[in-house]
Amino acid sequence: MTFVSWILLIFAVLLTGILLITTGLYGKKYKPYILPLRSDEYLTKPLLPYGLFLLDLIWRGHPGEYGKKLLRKTGFIYGLDYAPYYYQIHMAGKLVYMTVFEIILCFFGIVAKSEPLFLALLILCPAILFFLCDRVLDEIGEKRLQEIRKDFPDFVGKITLLMGAGLNVRQTFEKIGSDSLKDSPLYAEIKRTVSELQSGKSEIECYQTFAERIRIPEGNRLIGIIIQNIRIGGAAMLRELESLSGECLAVRKNNAYRLAEEAQAKLIFPMILMFIAVLLTVMTPAILSMRGLI
């Protein structure tokens, strides 16, 4: 083994020892903190005590602009009340991934005997991986947004129907929240709004925070119509709701077309690979036969 290989080996062993020892020492301390997490969603859960320990050492409670951006993402996905918790879990998970990747990279460098290249990768790859991990939050957030947009036209339709039958806004939310059996982000936020209303929170404030949590333009417009009705009344409210319902259906239809086109585009590359595989399977015996190999 070369001198650089020995350095890589020592570095890998030290990192592995620190990772395992820290996880063992602080496992009990952080166990209640990570207990609510699902193991199938958080693959790093067994090693999270290590990440949380490092985070406690380096984090001083001031996330900065980058941290605030992540807090907005976790707030949208998990709710504003739980945003700091999931922000810390996300950051701790990134530290775990970076450490494990460094260890694997060291052993690959020893086996491949490409020391200069792997020394450079030891510096660059963790930094790249640190930001790539944020793609997980982007994908979860986009999925949540699509589910909200999919259910929103039905929600507006129910509001229009119930208010047309004589119910006020609060009664409409309570009726939709109690009757809904669907487990989706939008209906979870509706039930949360109903709980806030029943706790004595201001009606207008509840509807405004509801719009902030679902983060879609149609939601802002709906809440704008509702608040205007509460403050100054308006005979044209049902007509505006019917118009909004039609626009939401059109938006859902356009989103369905767009997602279908994206799905077709994603299938092109696998289809090309399958075509090449079939072509090779068919042509290989013929070529070997022509050359007298079979």
Looking at the fold, whether 149 and 222 belong to one and the same domain comes out as yes
Looking at the fold, whether 22 and 107 belong to one and the same domain comes out as yes
- Residue 32 burial (C-beta neighbours within 10 Å; 0-12, 13-18, 19+): exposed
Q: Which of 182, 177, 181 is nearest to 193 (CA)?
A: 177
Q: What local confidence, expressed as pLDDT, does residue 21 receive?
A: 93
Looking at the fold, whether 12 and 121 belong to one and the same domain comes out as yes
- Predicted confidence (pLDDT) at residue 260 exceeds the cutoff of 70: no
Looking at the fold, whether 160 and 217 belong to one and the same domain comes out as yes
Looking at the fold, whether 153 and 211 belong to one and the same domain comes out as yes
Looking at the fold, whether 78 and 11 belong to one and the same domain comes out as yes
Q: What local confidence, expressed as pLDDT, does residue 269 receive?
A: 62
Portion of the chain with pLDDT greater than 90, in percent: 16
State how many domains the chain has: 2
- Predicted confidence (pLDDT) at residue 233 exceeds the cutoff of 60: yes
- Answer with the one of 108, 132, 156 that is the final residue of a domain: 132
Exposed e or buried b per residue across 197-229, where buried means at least 16 C-beta atoms within 10 angstroms of its C-beta: beeeeebeebbbbbbebbebebbebbbebbbeb
- Answer with the one of 247, 262, 285 that is the final residue of a domain: 247
Tell me, yes or no, whether 68 lies in a domain: yes
Average pLDDT over residues 225-233: 79
Element (H, E) at 81: none
Q: Where is pLDDT greater, at 288 or 80?
A: 80
Looking at the fold, whether 36 and 112 belong to one and the same domain comes out as yes
Q: What local confidence, expressed as pLDDT, does residue 20 receive?
A: 92
Domain interval for residue 108: 3-132
Tell me, yes or no, whether 203 lies in a domain: yes
Looking at the fold, whether 126 and 25 belong to one and the same domain comes out as yes
